[in-house]
């Protein structure tokens, strides 16, 4: 009663305020327009870019139905009130114009500057002009269960309604269970109502309660293996006229799938390590012999022992935490990653450090009793230091991890040094500076590719014997310098310089960079200083020091390819704070097992494996075979072909 009495008291007060406002409008004429109280006007939201014109005020305000113009009628009799009569005359002479105002769509019959406190819900008929009259929808049902339902429906109808000869079934009720459906049918010619049929397979969890549908987990497994999120997946289903799952259901299933994918990736890493130990025993080595790695700045470690270069360790730095950001926005003193339901594993203010990445990867390898003695990285990487600290902390304080130079990055450094080198003016032919600069770029590419090809041929010829390779390097460098100088003689034929002398078998005819610019034997005119400069540039890759830094002629190409694969699972224009590690683990599975094997393993681990003779497996095999065919065509006929 107190609340009701209080509301009535406020109502009376508002009515008195309105009466007082009307009396002021009657007594003060046009000056009453400045005294409009926002609390007494209808709720509205006024925007810019419109015009409102105001005339002299009447005794009582009368608003028109237009949102852009309203007029106030002047009082009829002002005799005896000279001040008001004078003010009325001034208001009549000066017409007030209010420009740059636009009223909101929900305030068509009022023109005030009051904000819209309770906006009305927009109508749902704004799409009617683009929609069809006939409503058609698709449902995802299990084929065998659908046939079983039809047979069971006919038998049950025959037993319960034997007099109904020709039934006509109709859907009474359907219940959505993600992408699965539960149907209940009835006969329109009799009173027969069937039982509820589940038209989806269930995952056997071993727990009581309703079971999850296999199609839901299979669909979410496909989503995390693509570069789309739940919103895009819902849009994809809607475009196919299939009612999508709710966002909460999709997120919950995605969380469960990603957790299982992370465990599966960890088991795969353990299996790769076990394969190493069996390989060492087969070769007569100690099963715990150290391994060689290649690492990159993205937190990926691949083995350099086999040609597959499988991923045996990765660490993903995640600073995204929606829960922490929401709590901090509400005023709570929360820091990630030290609160409940936190998805981040690093503080948001900590810098990204390659050394920390190497340390985390080293700790994961140490749990598997795996030692690392050599690690190939690019020139400015610090991950080897963190890897060595982890090995020293867990295994041996005196253990050292030797860093090896990447051959590809060393070639890029060689190319940049050639561009920065100051050759003589007559070294490169050309009438203009631009032409000479183009030939210099072609020469830099040629020197880089030729050095890489020579070193690769030496490793293949001597089977990686560094002593034999080091004996050949000084003679090879001098022969290459003579070849670029135009003295392509017997020195090229009897040493590995990729040049056999002559005309058609010379390097000048084989090289794409030189022949594309019309350069022939003798086109370059180096002087003594230029020859010394070319010799020093070749020694960046063809010298004893470079050989010690590239002992096994390894590179980080696999890490670079894994980085591109992860970017498809974790695109930069989307944030997956909760399931970032799960998607990265799916990428690791795809790299180590190929797409078809990885998907089959993931579906089996989730609980919705594929059938041996299903058409889905046939389509998956065709997809993978087409990928292999495209790769083979590119290798044989060149990289200019596109798939």
- The domain locations on the chain are 143-248, 408-550, 614-642
Tokens of 414: 């060689």
Q: Residue 182 pLDDT > 90, yes or no?
A: yes
Strands of the sheet with 180-187, listed across from one edge? 169-177, 180-187, 193-198
- Predicted confidence at residue 220, as pLDDT, reads 93
Residue 534: which residues within 8 A CB-CB, separation 6 or more? 447, 480, 481, 484, 526
Tokens of 101: 């105002």
- Predicted confidence at residue 119, as pLDDT, reads 66
Give the separation between CA 172 and CA 194, rounded to whole angstroms.
9
Q: Chain-wide mean pLDDT for the chain? A: 79
490 CB neighbour count, 10 Å cutoff: 9
Strands 291-295 and 372-377: parallel
Q: Are 495 and 483 in contact (CB under 8 A)?
A: no
Rounded average pLDDT over 499-522: 82
Going by pLDDT thresholds of 50, 70 and 90, the confidence category of residue 37 is very low
- Predicted confidence at residue 519, as pLDDT, reads 86
- 365: helix, strand or coil: helix
Going by pLDDT thresholds of 50, 70 and 90, the confidence category of residue 114 is low
Going by pLDDT thresholds of 50, 70 and 90, the confidence category of residue 177 is very high
Residue whose structure tokens are 């309105």: 18
- Predicted confidence at residue 115, as pLDDT, reads 60
pLDDT tens for residues 536-567? 999 999 999 999 988 888 888 898 889 889 98
In degrees rounded to 5, what are phi and psi of residue 198?
A: -85, 120
Instruction: Evaluate the CA torsion angle 22, 27, 30, 32 in order and state its sign.
Output: negative
User: Which has more pLDDT, 226 or 112?
Assistant: 226
Candidate from 271-275, 342-346, 513-517, 626-630 with smallest mean pLDDT: 626-630
Going by pLDDT thresholds of 50, 70 and 90, the confidence category of residue 95 is very low
Rounded average pLDDT over 51-79: 43
Give the separation between CA 443 and CA 530, rounded to whole angstroms.
13
- Predicted confidence at residue 286, as pLDDT, reads 83
With CA atoms as reference, report the closest residue to 312 among 325, 293, 340, 330. Answer: 293
Going by pLDDT thresholds of 50, 70 and 90, the confidence category of residue 223 is very high
In degrees rounded to 5, what are phi and psi of residue 567?
A: -65, -25
Q: Residue 11 pLDDT > 50, yes or no?
A: no
Give the separation between CA 204 and CA 539, rounded to whole angstroms.
64
- Predicted confidence at residue 339, as pLDDT, reads 86
- Predicted confidence at residue 45, as pLDDT, reads 38
Q: What is the DSSP string of 28-85?
A: HGGGGGGG--GGGSPP--EESS--EEE----SS----S-SS----PPPS--TT-HHHH
User: Which has more pLDDT, 467 or 121?
Assistant: 467
Q: Residue 462 pLDDT > 50, yes or no?
A: yes
Give the separation between CA 197 and CA 181, rounded to whole angstroms.
8
Give the separation between CA 192 and CA 160, rounded to whole angstroms.
7
With CA atoms as reference, report the closest residue to 224 among 560, 572, 576. Answer: 576
Tokens of 191: 């009173």
Going by pLDDT thresholds of 50, 70 and 90, the confidence category of residue 509 is confident
- Predicted confidence at residue 36, as pLDDT, reads 37
Q: Are 201 and 214 in contact (CB under 8 A)?
A: yes
Give the separation between CA 271 and CA 283, rounded to whole angstroms.
19
Give the separation between CA 376 and CA 510, rounded to whole angstroms.
31
Residue 535: which residues within 8 A CB-CB, separation 6 or more? 477, 478, 481
- Predicted confidence at residue 578, as pLDDT, reads 87
Rounded average pLDDT over 343-350: 89
User: Which has more pLDDT, 241 or 15?
Assistant: 241
Between the two ends of the chain, the Cα-to-Cα distance in Å is 78
With CA atoms as reference, report the closest residue to 608 among 211, 333, 191. Answer: 211
Q: Residue 435 pLDDT > 60, yes or no?
A: yes
- Predicted confidence at residue 449, as pLDDT, reads 92
Q: Residue 642 pLDDT > 50, yes or no?
A: no
- Predicted confidence at residue 56, as pLDDT, reads 45
| Percent of the chain scoring above 90 in pLDDT | 30
Going by pLDDT thresholds of 50, 70 and 90, the confidence category of residue 631 is low
In degrees rounded to 5, what are phi and psi of residue 556?
A: -115, 30
């Amino acid at each position: 009663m107190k609340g009701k009495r209080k509301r009535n008291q406020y109502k009376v007060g508002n009515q008195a305020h309105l009466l007082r406002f009307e009396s002021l409008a009657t007594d003060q004429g046009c000056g009453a327009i400045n005294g409009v109280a926002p609390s007494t006007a209808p709720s509205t939201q006024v925007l810019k870019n419109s015009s409102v014109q105001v005339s002299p005020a009447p005794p009582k305000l009368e608003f028109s139905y237009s949102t852009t113009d309203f007029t106030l009628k002047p009082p009829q009799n002002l005799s005896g009130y000279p001040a008001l009569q004078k003010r009325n005359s001034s208001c009549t002479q000066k017409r007030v114009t209010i420009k740059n105002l636009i009223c909101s769509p929900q305030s068509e019959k009022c023109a005030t500057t009051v904000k819209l406190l309770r906006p009305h819900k927009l109508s749902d008929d704004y799409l009617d002009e683009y929609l069809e009259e006939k409503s058609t929808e698709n449902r995802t049902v299990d084929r065998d269960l659908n046939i079983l339902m039809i047979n069971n429906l006919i038998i049950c109808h025959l037993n319960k309604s034997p007099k109904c000869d020709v039934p006509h079934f109709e859907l009474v009720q359907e219940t959505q269970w993600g992408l699965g459906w539960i149907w209940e049918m009835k006969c329109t010619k009799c009173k027969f109502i069937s039982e509820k049929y589940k038209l989806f397979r269930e995952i056997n969890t071993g727990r009581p309660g309703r079971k999850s549908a296999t199609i839901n987990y299979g669909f979410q497994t496909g989503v995390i293996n693509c570069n789309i999120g739940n919103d895009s997946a819902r849009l994809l289903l809607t475009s196919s006229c299939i009612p999508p799952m709710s966002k909460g259901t999709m997120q919950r299933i995605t969380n469960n799938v990603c957790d299982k994918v992370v465990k599966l990736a960890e088991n795969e890493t353990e299996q790769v390590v076990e394969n190493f130990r069996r390989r060492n025993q087969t070769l007569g080595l100690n099963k715990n012999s150290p391994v060689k790695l290649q690492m990159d700045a993205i937190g990926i470690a691949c083995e350099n022992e086999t040609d597959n270069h499988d991923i045996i360790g990765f660490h993903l730095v995640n600073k995204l935490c929606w829960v922490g950001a929401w709590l901090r926005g509400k005023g709570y003193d929360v820091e990630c990653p030290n609160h409940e339901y936190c998805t981040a594993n690093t503080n948001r203010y900590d810098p990204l450090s390659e050394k920390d990445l190497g340390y985390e990867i080293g700790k994961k390898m140490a749990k598997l009793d795996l030692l690392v003695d050599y690690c190939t990285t690019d020139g400015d990487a610090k991950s080897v230091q963190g890897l060595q600290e982890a090995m020293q902390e867990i295994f041996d304080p005196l253990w050292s991890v030797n860093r090896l130079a990447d051959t590809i990055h060393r070639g890029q450094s060689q190319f940049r040094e050639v561009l920065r080198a100051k050759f003589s003016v007559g070294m490169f032919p050309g009438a203009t500076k631009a032409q000479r600069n183009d030939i210099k770029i072609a020469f830099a590419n040629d020197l880089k590719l030729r050095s890489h090809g020579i070193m690769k041929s030496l490793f293949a010829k001597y089977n990686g014997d560094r002593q034999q390779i080091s004996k050949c390097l000084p003679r090879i460098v001098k022969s290459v310098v003579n070849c670029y100088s135009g003295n392509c003689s017997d020195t090229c034929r009897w040493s590995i310089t990729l040049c056999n002398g002559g005309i058609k078998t010379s390097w000048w005819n084989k090289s794409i960079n030189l022949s594309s610019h019309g350069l022939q034997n003798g086109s370059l005119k180096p002087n003594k200083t230029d020859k010394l400069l070319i010799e020093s540039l070749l020694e960046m890759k063809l010298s004893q020091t470079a050989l010690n830094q590239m002992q096994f002629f390894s590179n980080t190409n696999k890490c670079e390819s894994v980085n591109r694969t992860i970017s498809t699972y974790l695109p930069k224009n989307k944030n997956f704070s909760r399931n970032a590690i799960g998607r990265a683990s799916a990428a690791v599975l795809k790299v180590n097992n190929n797409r078809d094997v990885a998907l089959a393993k993931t579906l089996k681990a989730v609980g919705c494996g594929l059938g041996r003779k299903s058409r889905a497996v046939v389509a998956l095999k065709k997809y993978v075979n087409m990928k292999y065919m495209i790769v083979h065509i590119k290798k044989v006929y060149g990289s200019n072909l596109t798939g």
